[in-house]
Each structure stands twice: as structure tokens, then as C-alpha cells.
Structure 1
Amino acid sequence: MLATGTKATTAPTADSQDAEAGLLWKQIVGPLEPFLEAVSNRLGEQVRAFDPELSGLAEYTLQGPGKQLRPTLVGLVGQALGRPGPDHITVAVIIEMIHLATLVHDDVMDEAALRRGRLTVAARWGNETAVLFGDCLFAQALVLAAGFPTPEICRAVARATETVCTGEILQTRHRRNFPLSQEYYFRVLEMKTGELFGLACDLGAWCSGAAPEVRGTLRQFGLAFGTAYQLYDDCLDLMGQESAVGKSLGTDLAKGKLTLPVLLAWERSDPRERSRLERWIQHWEPGHLPQLRQMLERHGALVEALRMIHVHLERARQHLQGLPAPARPGPLHAAADYLARQADRLNGAH
């Protein structure tokens, strides 16, 4: 989700060839290009923080392809409240390192061989090394956080990390377990994805010297926006096109993760259809996807799930209305509008 010539300019779109979408996203993040470039450079510098024998592993992880969504939010908040500075860069690096650590661990648990078109750390160096290096990333993020003159950053980072890991545990414990309530599903989404989005907005505001109430308002924006983004990603896993998404579809189902469209279809099905859906999830095969899509469309599950993206994005926009007059929440509002547009495009494709 970033800019021209760097990984900071690739728009988070269901169709990477959509020039119009790419242009819209560039208009949002274009002013942040120097900031995002600085974040990328600072991430690269972190390679030297690890033992020389781990330099290849660290470089592979820290300088790999990525959307940098969370650093982008840090920068957008800094822009809304003035101008991003050196502290914003450090905070963005901290949060991105935490995110990368969770991805390294996720790939071990999911037995994933590829991420973003290349071998995962686990596939290339083995599970034991991947688990331990993920721990190293968490630790290095806390080292950077400890460099601030207040323990507040360390506390916020540690709390957020605990929340993210707890959300992952809760999701893992309920794999393939029907029924699962929508309330529980959204709780996990907020913990797993929304939390780091909320942290990015909160600490971005802290770096700008914002008052506690402003920080709280922006944190709530981040939680709602992050939840909407993860819901969009869950829908994309079922409704996208592999050539555009850049990965195999149905990966959540292969891992037994029950996403909102599937939960809605189960709730609206008769006993026979429920049994069929449960069998598919228990023994998932890619060939089930066309039949599953038909079931989802028959029960309006896809349309309802996409509607819920708009619900959470509207909550995010409402939080921006609570910002004081000097703030310029335009880019944050535009980011929410962009994601809403992408959800509508996904709906239009089916």
C-alpha cells in the first residue's frame, strides 16, 4: 500500500492493474513518499542489530515486499496533525517489525510455503529458526521502543503485541468449529488486525503531541479501519481472482479459519446445506470453491459481508468527526473511502 519506485506505492487493490485505483491511492499517500522511504531505509538499518550470522535472514525479512499499511497510517496521522517527524519514523518501524514478526509466526502455524510470491522464512530456514527469529523481531521492536524518553511507548507496544497474539490463539482454538458467533468473529478481527492499526494511529498522534482524547479518537478510527480491512481481505480470499490477488484463493478455508461470509451462509442454511458446508471446511479442497461461492451467493452472504465493511468504515469516519478543528483528517477519510471503493469493486465482480 505504498508509492512509485518503492514498495510504498503499490495500492492495496483487488486488481493490481487498475490504473485508476493506483492513481487514487497515490494521491492519498503521495505526500508521504519521503516518509515511507525513510521508514524502509530505517527498517533496512535494523539488519545490523542482529548477530552477523543472521544478517541474511534479517535482510530477507526486513527488506522483503510488503504493503506497509501500518507505517502509512502513522504517516497519515502525522500529516493530519501537522507533519511526520523522526519519532513518527521510529514508531512506524517498531510497528512494522511487530507485524513482520506475527507474519513469520503465522507462516509456521499455517505451514505456508509462500508469502507475497516468495518462500516464507519457515520454508527457507525451517520452523525452529522461524519461530526464534520471530521472537528476535519482537525483542528488537521493544529495544527501539525503549529508546524513547518515556516508558509509555514500550507499554503500548507490549499491550498491543499481547492483544494480537491472544487474538491469534482465540482464532486457532476455534478453527473448523461451527457455530461461531459474528460477535466472536469481529472480536478476533479487532484483536488480530485492528489492534496494530489502532496502535499506529494512537502512537502517530502521540508523536505529534496530541492530547489524550485525540489519541483515543484516532485509536478508535484505527481499530474500525483495521477491522474493515481484514474483513475485506477475508472476502477477497473467497471472491477475488488469483491472477490479480497474487496468491491462491481459499487459503483461510484450507487453514480452517471461519470468515464472515462462511458464517453467514451457515446461519442461513438448512440442516442439509450446513452438513455439506461443514464437510467442505473439515476436508477442504480447492475444487470446493466454485460450489461454495454458489452457496454464499444463494444466501446473500457475500453481499452482507461487504455491507459490513461499509458499516465499519462509517464508524471509522465518525471517529474522525470528533477531531478538533486544527486537525486535517482528509487523507484518513480518503483512505476509508478508498477501501469502500475497493469493496464495491469486489461486489461488482460477482
Structure 2
Amino acid sequence: MLATGTKATATPAADSRDAEVGLLWKRITGPLEGFLDQVSAHLVGQVRSFDPELTGLAEYTLQGTGKQLRPTLVGLVGQALGGTTEEHVRVAVIIEMIHLATLVHDDVMDEASLRRGRLTVAARWGNETAVLFGDCLFAQALVQAASFPTPEVCRTVAQATQVVCTGEILQTRYRRDFERSRHSYRRILEMKTGELFALACELGAWCSRAPAGVREGLRRFGLAFGTAYQLYDDCLDLLGEEQRAGKSLGTDLAKGKLTLPILLAWERADARDRSRLERWIREWHPQYLPRLRQLLDRYQALPGALAEVHDHLTRAGRELAHLPAPVQKEGLRAAAEFLARQTDNLTTPG
């Protein structure tokens, strides 16, 4: 039952599942520990190249880098293709700076106060500073991309950044518009989140000098994996607990963003419930959340949304299966399994 979903996450069984998923993540990243340490050190070096007045702000931002999913994908791709190099570290740093920039800007647009258990840059330093600092991160990422001897990296990074920003614009444009959002939602997910995961896999393969067919297959894996991750995150925004998630929850609802569970409920609802749902989203207040969860439960919106996460992960697995035998796929498969288990942990036992 959705109505009791957040209570279920606090049970010992849920804690046990979380611990199991955490151990899986450590097994995935363990062989990449040295690589990820280099990425972190290079990130620190990049932000310390900013004006000294920004040092405290920059270091604060880096302290909340989370699981470093995108650098991890770069490393896993490098590992699958023979090992990581200094170039893999550099592209991982570039992609992580772009990702951090989007988070800083997202928190401004969403008026979010928490990110990874701490005050957001906007909440601590104000919106103006946050927007401009996000711009600094974007610019520094492009400076580093331009330092490669070929323009291909800079061009690919710039194109991906444009796609991400376009996806965010479209999502903002379609707020509270159920008809437009229903047709555009999946495309927007691929653009605003899937694209950076795809970029991580594509450039990781480029650094390994993989042939074009392998690069394209890994890019498609990253796109499917990243889209699945955003679907999972959209479910977490509705069903998680803020303390456990480490970020402000319910911001999608407050800003009128229509995510998959909401859209599925709306598609399946009768006229009366559609009207109620539209009114809640138009005039959102946290007191509506229990009733919203009951409505989602009535129309089985959570199982439908979680099934789509698994569908995208299955698609990602198919892309790996099509890669030639010399590619060592175990780490990438484990990353998909990690997300599948996280997704399953959002369900309520029994």
C-alpha cells in the first residue's frame, strides 16, 4: 500500500535491504577506489583555480558529491575496455563539474533547501550566487574539455550540456500541463538526466580508443541506465523520507513537475479523481500528500512506475549483451543491478 510506504522504509527489514545495497555499491566501486580518488583530487584542483573569494563556496559544493555515479560509469567503462588512464580521470572530472552545475541550478529553480543532507548552495549563499557559481562550473568544464588535443571532446561535452539544459527548459515549460507532459515526459528524462550518463559511457569508451560500434553501444547503455535512474529518483521524491534520502522531497510537486507516478495515476483515474489530482498539483500543499498517496495506490501508479525503471534497466542490459566478447561487462551489469535493488527497496513489504 502506497499510503504506508514511507513508514515501511523505516522498518528493520528496510534497513537491512539498504545495507545490502550499500555493500553492493562498495563491491562495484572497490576496484575503482584509486581512480575515484584521483577524480576527487582533480575536482578539488579545478575549483581551487577559481578566484580565492570562491574557495569556501567551491569546497562546500564538492563535499556533497554523493556516489559519483557518472565518474563511476567512466571508470567502469575504462575497466571494461582494458583499464583507466589519465584521460578517463579528466573526462570524469569534466562530467562531474557539469553535473554539479546542474544540481546547483536545479536547487535554485526548485527552491530546495537540502541536498545530500546539507543546505543547498542557494539556501546558504542565496540564489544569485548559486546561479553564477553554477555558471562558473559549466565554464570550467568546457575549459578543461577544450584542453584535449582534439576538438571532439569539447564538441561532445558542449552538445551534451545543451541537451541537458534543453530538457530542463521543456520540463519547466510543461509544468502542471498533464496533456503535454504525458507525451513529453520520457523524452525529457533522457535529455535532462540520461544524456550525462550516456556522455560518461561514450567518453569513457573514447578514452579507451574503442571502435565506433562499441562507443555507440555503451552510449545507449548509459542513456537507458540514466533514464532508469531519473525514473527511480522521481518515485523517491514522492515516496521517500527526507532524512533517509538526504535531500528536499516533494519539490517536484511544489513546482508542478509531473513525474511518472502522477501521470500514470492521471491516465488511469476517473473524471472525479483526475479533477482532484489536477487541483492538488495546481494548488500544492504538503497536507495533500497522504491523500495523494492514497490516490496513487488506488490506481497502482507506483508499481507501474517501478516496472518502467526495470524496463529501462532491461534495455540497458540488452545493450551490454550486444557488445563484443572482449568487453568486460561485469562492472556495468553490477551497476544496473545496484539500481534495480534500490528500486525494489521503494516498495512496501507484503
Alpha-carbon distance, 1:349 to partner? 4.3
> 1:10: which partner in 2?
none
**1:100-146: CA deviation from partner (whole Å, max 9, x where unpaired):** 11111111212222222222222222222221111111110011111
> 1:167: which partner in 2?
167
> 1:88: which partner in 2?
88
Which deviates more, 84-93 or 123-132?
A: 123-132
Equivalent-residue separation in structure 2 for 1:140 and 1:209 (angstroms): 25
> 1:178: which partner in 2?
178
Aligned AA (1:107) = D
Equivalent-residue separation in structure 2 for 1:229 and 1:161 (angstroms): 18
Relative to 1, partners in 2 of residues 1:132 and 1:256: Cα closer, same or farther, differing over 3 Å?
same
> 2:344: which partner in 1?
344
> 1:129: which partner in 2?
129
Whether the 8 Å CA contact 1:80–1:328 is kept in 2: the answer is yes
Percent identity reads 73
> 1:256: which partner in 2?
256
Aligned AA (2:237) = D
**1:173-202: CA deviation from partner (whole Å, max 9, x where unpaired):** 011112245441000000000000000000
1:158-307 alignment runs, 5 A limit: 158-307=158-307
Aligned AA (2:332) = L
User: Which 5+ residue runs of structure 2 have no aligned equivalent?
Assistant: 1-13
**TM-score, length basis structure 2:** 0.92
Whether the 8 Å CA contact 1:15–1:244 is kept in 2: the answer is no
> 2:116: which partner in 1?
116
Relative to 1, partners in 2 of residues 1:313 and 1:209: Cα closer, same or farther, differing over 3 Å?
same
Aligned AA (2:108) = V
Whether the 8 Å CA contact 1:75–1:88 is kept in 2: the answer is yes
**TM-score, length basis structure 1:** 0.92
User: Which 5+ residue runs of structure 1 have no aligned equivalent?
Assistant: 1-13
Alpha-carbon distance, 1:58 to partner? 1.8
> 2:49: which partner in 1?
49
Which deviates more, 33-42 or 52-61?
A: 52-61
Equivalent-residue separation in structure 2 for 1:249 and 1:64 (angstroms): 17
Equivalent-residue separation in structure 2 for 1:332 and 1:306 (angstroms): 21
Equivalent-residue separation in structure 2 for 1:134 and 1:325 (angstroms): 41
Alpha-carbon distance, 1:233 to partner? 0.7
Equivalent-residue separation in structure 2 for 1:181 and 1:56 (angstroms): 39
> 1:325: which partner in 2?
325
Alpha-carbon distance, 1:15 to partner? 5.5
> 1:104: which partner in 2?
104
Aligned AA (1:301) = A
**1:130-170: CA deviation from partner (whole Å, max 9, x where unpaired):** 21111111110011111111000000000000000000000
Equivalent-residue separation in structure 2 for 1:242 and 1:20 (angstroms): 20
Whether the 8 Å CA contact 1:198–1:220 is kept in 2: the answer is yes
Equivalent-residue separation in structure 2 for 1:249 and 1:17 (angstroms): 21
Aligned residues, how many?
337
Whether the 8 Å CA contact 1:171–1:188 is kept in 2: the answer is yes
> 1:11: which partner in 2?
none
Whether the 8 Å CA contact 1:205–1:215 is kept in 2: the answer is yes
Relative to 1, partners in 2 of residues 1:57 and 1:74: Cα closer, same or farther, differing over 3 Å?
same
Whether the 8 Å CA contact 1:44–1:63 is kept in 2: the answer is no
**1:14-35: CA deviation from partner (whole Å, max 9, x where unpaired):** 8698322211121111101111
Equivalent-residue separation in structure 2 for 1:196 and 1:155 (angstroms): 14
Aligned AA (2:227) = T
Q: Secondary structure at the match of 2:28?
A: helix
Aligned AA (2:159) = R
Alpha-carbon distance, 1:57 to partner? 1.7
> 1:6: which partner in 2?
none
Equivalent-residue separation in structure 2 for 1:87 and 1:254 (angstroms): 41
Equivalent-residue separation in structure 1 for 2:40 and 2:131 (angstroms): 24
Q: Is 1:61 matched with 2:61?
A: yes
Relative to 1, partners in 2 of residues 1:46 and 1:152: Cα closer, same or farther, differing over 3 Å?
same
Alpha-carbon distance, 1:287 to partner? 1.8
1:21-40 alignment runs, 5 A limit: 21-40=21-40
Whether the 8 Å CA contact 2:237–2:251 is kept in 1: the answer is yes
Alpha-carbon distance, 1:226 to partner? 0.3
Equivalent-residue separation in structure 1 for 2:163 and 2:241 (angstroms): 32
Alpha-carbon distance, 1:274 to partner? 0.7
